[in-house]
Structure 1
């Protein structure tokens, strides 16, 4: 609604109850809205998010370390090409 429509609606005979919503500019609202309790809540939320991020990073690092250890163990296992071959040790099956 523009200003003229708003004035007509507010000054009409059928308008008995008026409820006004007053909005302040965002800059003024910001300081009043962020009271101590809200700031404390935001700080706590930020700390919880940081702790969660650190925990996830530690879990990821542990998982990567475990995968590296597993690859090293697999690399240390002898394969067919690394086993010594002895002539005459294989028996032919008839």
Structure 2
């Protein structure tokens, strides 16, 4: 994703109160995003909604496509939806 697109996305979700942006004192090139309590609620609600609807979407696919979709969903959630207690809710980006 181009930097300008990333910045626009972060600006929008920051304005909505879903993340807080900051930089550590040690490296100002790093942008640290922390999920707010409201952002966490939105993410959990979206995850629950997608989890409920995924079987309906998957039913319309061929069996091999269902397997591919499940594999991709696992990869996405493992990388981007940490479980409870797995971190401090932050994401670092170096620009």
**Higher fraction of helix:** 1
TM, length-normalised to structure 1: 0.29
TM-score (norm: length of structure 2): 0.28
- Greater Rg, structure 1 or structure 2? 1
Structure richer in strand, relative to its length: 2
